[in-house]
Chain A
Amino acid sequence: MNKTYSALNLFREGLRGQRGWAPAWRSPKPKPAYDVIVIGGGGHGLATAYYLAKVHGVRNVAVLEKGWIGGGNSGRNTTVVRSDYYYPESAALYDMSVRLYEGLSRELNYNIMLSQRGMMILAHSEAEMEIAARQVNAMQINGIDSQLLDTEGVRKLAPILNFDRGARYPIHGAMYQGRGGTARHDAVVWGFARGADRLGVDIIQNCEVTDVIVEGGRVTGVATTRGEIRADRIGAAVAGHSSVLAHMAGYRLPIHSYALQAFVSEPLKPVLDTVVLSPGHGTYVSQSDKGGLVFGGGLDRIPSYGQRGNLPVQETVIGGLSEMVPMFSKVKLLRHWAGIVDVTPDSSPIIGPSGVEGLYLNCGWGTGGFKAIPVGGYMLAHILATGRHHDLSRPFDLSRFTRGRLIDEGAASGIAH
Chain B
Amino acid sequence: MQLFPCPFCGPRNEREFHYVAEPGKTRPDTTGDITAEDWAAYLYDTKNEKGPVREVWMHLTCRELFVMERDSVTMDVLGSKTLRRTLPAEGAA
Contacts and interface: CB of A to CB of B under 8 A. Distances in A.
Contacts of B45: 252-254
Interface stretch (A19-27, A140-148, A304-312): A304-312
Interface string A295-328: 0000001111110001110000000000000000
A330 interface: no
A396 to B, nearest CB: 15
A75 to B, nearest CB: 19
Interface residues of A, number: 24
A243 interface: yes
Nearest to B44: A254
Contact of B73 (A254, A255, A306, A401): A306
Contacts of B47: 243, 247, 252
A76 interface: no
Interface string A268-312: 000000000000000000000000000000000111111000111
A124 interface: no
A403 B40 CA distance: 8
Contacts of A254: 40, 44-46
Interface residues of B, number: 26
Given A304-B75, A403-B36, A310 B14 contact: yes
B72 A255 contact: no
A345 interface: yes
A139 to B, nearest CB: 28
B44 A306 contact: no
Contacts, number: 67
Contacts of A257: 48, 50, 72
B40 A253 contact: no
A167 interface: no
B55 interface: yes
B61 interface: no
A402 B48 CA distance: 19
A243 B46 contact: yes
B25 to A, nearest CB: 12
Contacts of B18: 301
Contacts of A247: 47, 49
Given A302-B75, A345-B43, A401-B43, 19 more contacts: A241-B50, A243-B46, A244-B50, A247-B49, A252-B46, A253-B45, A253-B46, A255-B48, A256-B46, A257-B48, A257-B50, A257-B72, A303-B55, A306-B75, A310-B2, A312-B14, A312-B15, A402-B36, A402-B39
8 contacts: A241-B50, A253-B48, A302-B19, A306-B73, A310-B1, A345-B44, A402-B37, A402-B40
